[in-house]
């Protein structure tokens, strides 16, 4: 029998899988011919970026796709493409990561934060109450949690709100069979190292709207070479935009696209493997005293590349102690209730540039929210061990808290 009080996890929470051999070979070919810029192509050559855009558009079922330098650049470009400018209000999640309000700030717009539910999705009641305050919602599917997208779109359509989806954590996911990124006007994705495809940095936008995507292509710095794209709108969609759309260069290069295309071909299997790992951790933590798991509705076809749980009613000191004790046993947990941003973890009140107002429901959720990466370098056995360690530490802390409560006069 395993001694759960002693076992320590030896794996790395930041080690990703190696780039597939096909991606390495494609990258070497690009390096050998030297045509890294997306528009520097030989006669009759499509180029890796154009091919990636074509492949990804087909993968998600979109008419158009644009590959760019980062997920954050994709978000800012999408905001500009739908007409957001300086001073404009933009609705967005209170529970998200810094690049989302950062993209809003980058275009000079003003973020209006919407509350989060205990299931880590956008609070649709709060959205309905605030829908009249803005014409655009930048919806973040934070940590891979999808809200009821039919209800969300009904609220936004009724209020005349254009939806941009931040799918950095939901590439390969779906709601009721519709791919994440395909409910709103534009879907944005990231290919940063810790996302579902890895090019170090990178981003993708998809849309069925020809004018929006034509603006995005021009914004990305097409130098009027948009006829070299394979998944861009027809040339006539660019007419009337050429003299009024700035070049804010942020193109993806052929080297990054070359290593992404083989990853895209394997993405379905990779997403299933992530969710297998998620389910192992979920099963291992089910019923742990003092710990609440996040409900995953049947309509949500999620990708379990990270794992979250709540510690309702725990003090800040108790959660900090749990994180430290888990770390001593090799398990890296992140806490969204800390006073200061740390690494990739921050919350809305840390973004003073966005002038946030207090959101009590979100504060209550984030105060007890713990987060953990699940890289595919973990085996199912690794995930079971991680769950045993977390369960043991939570159970011990919960028991100590109960004992203290019964002895305190």
CA distances from 225 to 11, 50, 70, 218, 241 (A): 46, 12, 21, 9, 14
Distance CA 270, CA 276 (A): 10
Distance CA 16, CA 374 (A): 10
Q: What is the CATH number of domain 267-407?
A: 3.90.1150.10
Distance CA 4, CA 82 (A): 53
Ramachandran sector of residue 34 (left: φ over 0; alpha: ψ -120 to 50; beta: rest) = left
Per-residue pLDDT of the chain (409 residues; tens, 9 = 90+): 345 568 999 999 999 999 999 999 999 999 999 999 999 999 989 999 999 999 999 999 999 999 999 999 999 999 999 999 999 999 999 999 999 999 999 999 999 999 999 999 999 999 999 999 999 999 999 999 999 999 999 999 999 999 999 999 999 999 999 999 999 999 999 999 999 999 999 999 999 999 999 999 999 999 999 999 999 999 999 999 999 999 999 999 999 999 999 999 999 999 999 999 999 999 999 999 999 999 999 999 999 999 999 999 999 999 999 999 999 999 999 999 998 888 788 899 999 999 999 999 999 999 999 999 999 999 999 999 999 999 999 999 887 665 554 444 4
Is residue 387 within 8 Å of 285, Cβ to Cβ? yes
**CATH 3.40.640.10 domain extents, the chain:** 21-265
- How high is the pLDDT of residue 6? 81
> Sign of the CA dihedral 272, 273, 279, 282?
negative
Distance CA 130, CA 56 (A): 34
| CATH 3.40.50.720 at 21-265, yes or no | no
CA distances from 5 to 1, 385, 391, 395, 399 (A): 12, 12, 10, 11, 14
- How high is the pLDDT of residue 261? 98
Is residue 250 within 8 Å of 77, Cβ to Cβ? yes
- How high is the pLDDT of residue 400? 67
DSSP track, 253-306: PHHHHHHHHHHHHTHHHHHHHHHHHHHHHHHHHTT-TT-EEPP--TTEE---SE
Is residue 302 within 8 Å of 171, Cβ to Cβ? no
Closest listed residue to residue 103, CA positions, set 215, 250, 292:
250
**CATH 3.90.1150.10 domain extents, the chain:** 267-407
Distance CA 182, CA 188 (A): 10
A 10 A CB-CB count for 75 gives 31
Distance CA 251, CA 171 (A): 20
């Amino acid at each position: 029998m395993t001694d759960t009080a002693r076992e320590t996890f030896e794996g790395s929470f930041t080690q990703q899988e190696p780039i597939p051999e096909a991606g390495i070979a494609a990258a070497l070919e690009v390096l050998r011919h030297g045509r890294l810029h997306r528009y520097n192509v030989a006669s009759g050559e499509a180029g890796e970026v154009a091919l990636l855009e074509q492949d990804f558009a087909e993968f998600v079922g979109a008419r158009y796709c644009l590959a760019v330098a980062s997920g954050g650049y994709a978000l800012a470009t999408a905001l500009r493409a739908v007409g957001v400018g300086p001073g404009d209000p933009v609705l967005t999640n209170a529970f998200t990561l810094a690049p989302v309000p950062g993209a809003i700030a980058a275009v000079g717009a003003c973020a209006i934060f919407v509350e989060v539910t205990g299931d880590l999705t956008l609070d649709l009641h709060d959205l309905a109450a605030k829908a009249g305050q803005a014409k655009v919602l930048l919806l973040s599917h934070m940590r891979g949690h999808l809200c009821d997208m039919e209800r969300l779109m009904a609220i936004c359509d009724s209020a005349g709100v254009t939806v941009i989806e931040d799918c950095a954590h939901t590439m390969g996911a779906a709601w009721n069979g519709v791919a994440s990124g395909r409910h709103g006007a534009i879907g944005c994705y990231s290919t940063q190292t810790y996302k579902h495809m890895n090019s170090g940095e990178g981003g993708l936008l998809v849309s069925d709207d020809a004018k929006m995507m034509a603006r995005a292509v021009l914004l990305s710095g097409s130098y009027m070479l948009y006829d070299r794209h394979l998944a861009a709108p027809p040339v006539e969609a660019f007419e009337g935009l050429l003299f009024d759309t700035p070049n804010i260069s942020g193109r993806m290069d052929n080297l990054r696209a070359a290593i992404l295309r083989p990853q895209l071909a394997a993405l379905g299997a990779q997403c299933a493997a992530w969710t297998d790992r998620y389910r192992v951790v979920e099963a291992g933590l089910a019923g742990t005293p003092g710990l609440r798991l996040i409900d995953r509705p049947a309509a949500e076809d999620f990708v379990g590349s990270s794992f979250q749980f709540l510690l309702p009613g725990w003090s800040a000191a108790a959660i900090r102690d749990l994180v430290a004790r888990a770390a001593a046993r090799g398990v890296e947990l992140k806490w969204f209730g800390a006073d200061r941003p740390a690494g990739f973890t921050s919350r809305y009140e840390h973004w003073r540039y966005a002038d946030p107002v207090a959101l009590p429901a979100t504060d209550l959720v984030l105060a007890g929210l713990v987060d953990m990466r699940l890289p595919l370098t973990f085996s199912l056995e690794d995930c079971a061990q991680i769950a045993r360690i977390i369960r043991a530490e939570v159970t011990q802390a919960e028991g100590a808290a109960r004992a203290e409560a019964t002895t305190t006069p």
